[in-house]
Amino acid sequence: DAGVTQSPTHLIKTRGQQVTLRCSPKSGHDTVSWYQQALGQGPQFIFQYYEEEERQRGNFPDRFSGHQFPNYSSELNVNALLLGDSALYLCASSGKGPTSTDTQYFGPGTRLTVL
């Protein structure tokens, strides 16, 4: 049973560019959440997707957007990259919708470096 997978593992971009990160949830999970983890900090909630719609959003600007596909996989897009966007981006999945109390499982993350 594959866990949560993310691609790519590492990514280097320059300021002003756009980036797309991808996540495949754990088998049987239908809800995907994205987190940004800056160096030395805990993860910060970006947003959550369920039934192909954004259900909840943290305190992140509109430059951060996402998408969920019918197979429950998800993308995180960041436009107009800033140096401060450099971080580890974590995807987490859970089952039975956003109101479920099921445990959330995390992927290995994508390390984004903005130069």
Partner 1 sequence: AQTVTQSQPEMSVQEAETVTLSCTYDTSESDYYLFWYKQPPSRQMILVIRQEAYKQQNATENRFSVNFQKAAKSFSLKISDSQLGDAAMYFCAYRTLRRGNQFYFGTGTSLTVIP
Residue 108: is the preceding peptide bond cis (ω within 30°)? no
Amino acid at position 6, single letter: Q
**Minimum distance from CB of 47 to partner 1 (Å)?**
9
In the bound state with partner 1, the residue whose beta carbon lies nearer, of 12 and 80, is 12
55 touches partner 1 by CB under 8 A: yes
Provide the sign of the torsion angle of the four alpha carbons 55, 57, 62, 67, taken in this order: negative
Identify the residue whose tokens are 């992927």. 107
107 touches partner 1 by CB under 8 A: yes
Report how far residue 102's alpha carbon sits from residue 58's, in angstroms, rounded to the nearest whole number: 20
How many residues sit close enough to partner 1 to count as binding (CB under 8 A)? Answer: 29
In the bound state with partner 1, the residue whose beta carbon lies nearer, of 24 and 94, is 94
Report how far residue 95's alpha carbon sits from residue 28's, in angstroms, rounded to the nearest whole number: 7
Provide the binding-site residues for partner 1, judged by CB under 8 A: 33, 35, 40-45, 48, 50, 55-56, 58, 88, 90, 92, 94, 98-101, 103-109, 111
